[in-house]
Amino acid sequence: MQESRQPSEPDIKKHSFSWLTVEVGLYLLILAVALALRVIGLGRGVMDEHEAAQAWQAWRLINVHAAASSPTASAYSPLLLTAQAVLFALFGASDVTARLFPALIGGVASLLPALLRDRLGRQGALAAALTLAISPTLVYTARYGDGGGLLAAFLLAMITLMLAWTREQQPAYIWAGAICGVCALLADPRIVGAIIALAAVWAVERLVFRRTPFLLPGREIDRRRLALIIGVTLVLLATTLTLNPGGLGAWADFPARWLIHLQPVVNGQGWAYPLTALIIYEPLLLFLGLIGAVTLIGRRDEMTVLVWLALALLLLALLAGGRNAADVALVCAVLALLAGAAIETLAADWRKGTLIREGAFVGIALIIGVYVVLELAMYASALYRQIQAINYFYLWLLAVTLILVLLGLYITWFGPQPTWRALSATAALGLLLTTFATSVRLNFEHVNDPKELHIRVAPYVGVRDALQTMRKLAWQQAGYPISLPIAVEARLGYTWRWYLRSWERVEFVDTLSSEMNTPLVLTLASESTPTLGAQYSGQDFVVRKWWSPEFLDRTDVLTWWLYAKSSTYAVKLDSVILWTRMANNEQ
């Protein structure tokens, strides 16, 4: 009898890690980069009114003593409220936990292109995942505490799962796609526009091209099970596991809120903002997305539906009067899939080249390109500081001329096809580095900077300065940093309700009077001493600023386009005054 051979320990270890291929390792690396960009320093920025109203509603839900005596925020994301309530209950309420769920979902969403490996190809899926991971716009919306980033992530998830289902026909994709669709429905009012865009795209595909995107003719679906999954998921997520029935009402208000979103707002973005933002923040997605769109249209691929969807979402962003980064994020999410299609096509073309021929061009062009960027930066800096700049311009022009000469020689020697291979590789690598640097600048270096186009109206550090001053006064007078009674003018909004939520004795008042004797009073800057009486002295704090590209002069334009810097100052929009009651011997 032949004895069966027992597997040795090295064989067991080898089999245990057989799943860890190079491709899987690259996806894990992309996930790590995506999460790092979205989670690190998540609490650095001051919460604005919109974020604070959303977080306040979640905090109010889990604090019964606050719910009875505080107002309810009428407009919020039911999905985000559910996630925030759970995170607050587990880890406590803070700026970080208020923003954590969109950040995590946005990071995980970067892996979605892996489901489309059969359609995009391995290289294309990896490229799409990388562009999703480092996109400045998608990172920014994921780090912002509202439902806009969640909508982009879950809408992309639904579309990706439906496209994967039409190829692999696995029922799990249908159920997962339905859950992601429900999450998108509950994330943000922009879902109304996204549904209109999807319906229009489906109609174009069906009537013009005789195709039925996202559907398989003759494929039966268990509709009762699908309806049950959608219904149960919607009710539980909208009502925070039945703890907040009002969430269904907030969700029912989405159509009305979307119509309001279409109307112009004071100090809002101009009509050209979506296109300008794509050029400034997303040059890589634009470059590769256009190549991918041309490729898919040229071969009449079923994924051409993504081209029409990107155009429809861009049109909605242009039409929205209250347009902001979340509108652009929807376009970027779809462009990332088109970028993946472009990279797969380009990669197949790159493999036809040689390392010596195309590789030499890429290396030389990148070196000269770095020099071009440096000279352009020096020229912009000289203009910004108003010193002699013409020499830097001539050096920059010389470097650009060298690249054009190199390009002409390459076309003459090797022909247009090898030149395109080398040029596209150089552009992709250069734009990849630029996009990553822009993402770091927007989300880490320029937090709450109104000179960033995506931000424009920003809360200012005066919020935290005022809070720090309150704590110092409370420590000096009461021996504990949050124990001194404070009266806050109710008109200040949810930002102060959020940041004073843990204060032991805080009262929000509708009117002020000279009979008040609270040690601390926080009011709008428009209030003056006679309202409270001579027993109070005040210190003002700037809490919100606004800036517009219209403020630029000719010496600042290039610097702003490159680094979001300008010598012009942001306009003070809102200030508060912290009034302190003086002792009798100080009056």
- Give the whole-angstrom CA distance, residue 535 versus residue 410: 80
- Does residue 285 contact residue 302 with C-beta atoms inside 8 Å? no
Find the mean pLDDT for residues 450-479: 90
Percent of the chain with pLDDT over 90: 50
Confidence of residue 465 (pLDDT cuts 50, 70, 90): very high
Look at 51-60, 131-140, 343-352 and tell me which has the smallest mean pLDDT: 343-352
Report the candidate in 545, 496, 483 with the shortest Cα–Cα distance to residue 523: 496
What local confidence, expressed as pLDDT, does residue 172 receive? Answer: 86
What local confidence, expressed as pLDDT, does residue 586 receive? Answer: 53
What local confidence, expressed as pLDDT, does residue 388 receive? Answer: 75
Sequence-distant (6+) residues with CB within 8 A of 186 are: 77, 78, 79, 147, 234, 237, 238, 247, 251
Q: What CA–CA distances, in Å, run from 143 to 103, 128, 439?
A: 5, 20, 12
Highest mean pLDDT among 59-68, 310-319, 511-520, 523-532: 310-319
Percent of the chain with pLDDT over 70: 92
What local confidence, expressed as pLDDT, does residue 144 receive? Answer: 95
Over 70: is that where the pLDDT of 376 sits?
yes
In the 8-state DSSP scheme, what is residue 353?
Answer: S
Over 60: is that where the pLDDT of 245 sits?
yes
Confidence of residue 68 (pLDDT cuts 50, 70, 90): low
- Does residue 185 contact residue 251 with C-beta atoms inside 8 Å? yes
- Give residue limits of the domains in the chain: 42-265, 352-445, 460-586
Confidence of residue 355 (pLDDT cuts 50, 70, 90): low
User: For 121-155, what is each residue's pLDDT tens digit?
Assistant: 999 999 999 999 999 999 999 999 999 999 999 99
Confidence of residue 530 (pLDDT cuts 50, 70, 90): low
For the chain, state the CA radius of gyration. Answer: 28
User: For 326-335, what is each residue's pLDDT tens digit?
Assistant: 999 999 999 9
What local confidence, expressed as pLDDT, does residue 170 receive? Answer: 81
Sequence-distant (6+) residues with CB within 8 A of 458 are: 48, 448, 449, 450, 544, 545, 546, 570
**Between 115 and 400, where is the model more confident?**
115
What local confidence, expressed as pLDDT, does residue 116 receive? Answer: 92
| Helix runs in 92-121, H state only | 95-109, 117-120
What local confidence, expressed as pLDDT, does residue 6 receive? Answer: 59
Find the mean pLDDT for residues 22-27: 92
Confidence of residue 531 (pLDDT cuts 50, 70, 90): confident
- Give the whole-angstrom CA distance, residue 10 versus residue 83: 44
What local confidence, expressed as pLDDT, does residue 217 receive? Answer: 52
Confidence of residue 1 (pLDDT cuts 50, 70, 90): very low
- Give the whole-angstrom CA distance, residue 460 versus residue 47: 9
User: For 441-458, what is each residue's pLDDT tens digit?
Assistant: 999 999 989 999 999 888
**Between 158 and 268, where is the model more confident?**
158
What local confidence, expressed as pLDDT, does residue 8 receive? Answer: 59
Q: What is the 3-state secondary structure (H, E, C) of 441-504?
A: HHHHHCCCCCCCCCCCEEECCHHHHHHHHHHHHHHHHHCCCCCCCEEEEHHHCHHHHHHCCCCC
Which residues are paired to 546 by β-bridges? 457, 571
- Give the whole-angstrom CA distance, residue 520 versus residue 68: 24
As to burial, measured by CB atoms within 10 angstroms (0-12 exposed, 13-18 middle, 19+ buried), residue 30 is buried
Paired tokens of 228: 């049950």
User: For 157-216, what is each residue's pLDDT tens digit?
Assistant: 999 999 988 877 788 888 999 999 999 999 999 999 999 999 999 888 888 877 777 665
